[in-house]
Amino acid sequence: MARTAHSPDSDLGDLLGGLRAVAERTRLRILALCAEGDLTVGDLTQILGQSQPRVSRHLKLLCEAGVLERLPEGTAVFHRLADRGAGSALAQQVLRLLPRDDATLRLDRERLRAIRAERAASAAAYFRKNAARWGELRSLYVEEKRVEAELLRRLPAEGIADLLDIGTGTGRILELTAGRVGRGVGIDLSRDMLIVARANLQGAGLANCQVRQADMYRLPWTEPSFDAVTVHRVLHYAEDPARVIAEAARVLRPGGVLLVVDFAPHALERLRSEHAHRRLGFADDEVNKWCRAAGLRTEPVQHLPGKQLTVSIWQAVRGPARGAATASGRRAAA
């Protein structure tokens, strides 16, 4: 008798296929590396010290087994752990069995950190080179006034006691929102950008706004501290965008709102080479999935088409309805 798609034999076959896929030394190493974040074939080739065809073959088997999933993006293809299905469950079980102190896996993680540090240094050099004209560069891609107007519309008109702007750059979002927040805080890892931001805020006389150097992956607040968090055109530089979203959600107070502004998927490869973009935009479902995983309630996405790029604005809320957040914010401000 032929097996049906949902028969026990079919389920057992899927499990056996997954076990065969992961039961190989290099593929176990790939699985452990992809647990650290999205990686390309080039990343894995560099870490594993193997040829690209060989690494591609291993990835193909893991993807066919449902253990990994592919995310094509322009000429690059990222690989990540599958987040659903039998393959995903198997991957999580296998990862729990891997010895963290294994010498090979430890060396793989060290090489991955070196690659990420090199990329971070490249991005920092780019920021240093362009800090003084960052606002000018951003305006080349989309009409900024349209984005700013929509961002302001989505923020509560009053009652935001504390706002955090992640990757504040020139401090433009702080300037834009200063009139409706009790305190605005911007964080950035680039000292050059912070110099520009401080000069802009001081020139505008915005005493209720401040900037500080901090890592968007490790925000320096241990408790929920903000009624609103903005991530404005920063996510495409992130090595691990889901982690940025999780950190932003972590510091949101109940009822707080998260606004993420970034590009929809596109194919402008020059933004990688010329402007240090790690990702060529994001699909609506991708960002919404990260928000929901961080415990936030997502709201409809806004799209603002431009000549070459479309800007998307994702909105998510922590806990109670926004009205309750506004009321708590007014009490905190008082």
> Any idea which of 41-55, 126-140, 191-205 has the lowest mean pLDDT?
126-140
CB 236 within 8 A of CB 262: yes
Give the rounded distance of the alpha carbon of 291 from its chain centre: 10
Within a 10 A sphere around the Cβ of 168, how many other Cβ atoms? 28
Angle between helices 241-250 and 284-293 (to 10 degrees): 40
User: CA-CA distance, 41 to 55, in Å (whole number)?
Assistant: 7
Name the residue ranges covered by the structural domains of the chain: 8-98, 133-333
pTM of the predicted model, to two decimals?
0.71
Higher-confidence residue of 332 and 130: namely 130
Query: If you ran DSSP here, which 8-state letter would residue 66 be given?
Result: T
CB 160 within 8 A of CB 224: no
What is the CATH topology of the domain spanning 8-98?
A: Arc Repressor Mutant, subunit A (1.10.10)
* Structure confidence by residue, pLDDT tens digits, 239-280: 899 999 999 999 999 999 999 999 999 888 878 887 788 899
CB 333 within 8 A of CB 227: no
* Structure confidence by residue, pLDDT tens digits, 25-57: 999 999 999 988 778 899 999 999 999 999 999
Class of domain 133-333: alpha beta
Phi/psi at 125 (5° precision): -65, -40
Higher-confidence residue of 248 and 5: namely 248
Statement: residue 334 has pLDDT above 80: no
Query: If you ran DSSP here, which 8-state letter would residue 11 be given?
Result: H
Give me the percent of the chain exceeding a pLDDT of 90.
Answer: 57
Asked whether the CA dihedral 54, 35, 188, 186 is positive or negative, the reply is: positive
pLDDT bin (cut points 50, 70, 90) of residue 321 is very low
pLDDT value of residue 25: 95
Give me the percent of the chain exceeding a pLDDT of 70.
Answer: 87
Statement: residue 229 has pLDDT above 80: yes
Statement: residue 123 has pLDDT above 70: no
From 168, 188, 32, 176, select the one nearest 110 (Cα to Cα): 32
From 76, 25, 14, select the one nearest 267 (Cα to Cα): 76
Helix, coil or strand: residue 305: strand
CB 142 within 8 A of CB 311: yes
pLDDT value of residue 82: 87
pLDDT bin (cut points 50, 70, 90) of residue 231 is very high
Helix, coil or strand: residue 334: coil
- Exposure class string for 12-34: b at 16+ Cβ within 10 A, else e: eebeebbeebbeeeebbbbbbbb
Helix, coil or strand: residue 72: strand
* Structure confidence by residue, pLDDT tens digits, 157-169: 888 999 999 999 8
Within a 10 A sphere around the Cβ of 55, how many other Cβ atoms? 23
- Exposure class string for 236-250: b at 16+ Cβ within 10 A, else e: bbbbbbbbbbbbbbb
8-to-1, 5, 11, 33 alpha-carbon distances in Å: 13, 9, 5, 32
pLDDT value of residue 139: 53
pLDDT value of residue 73: 66
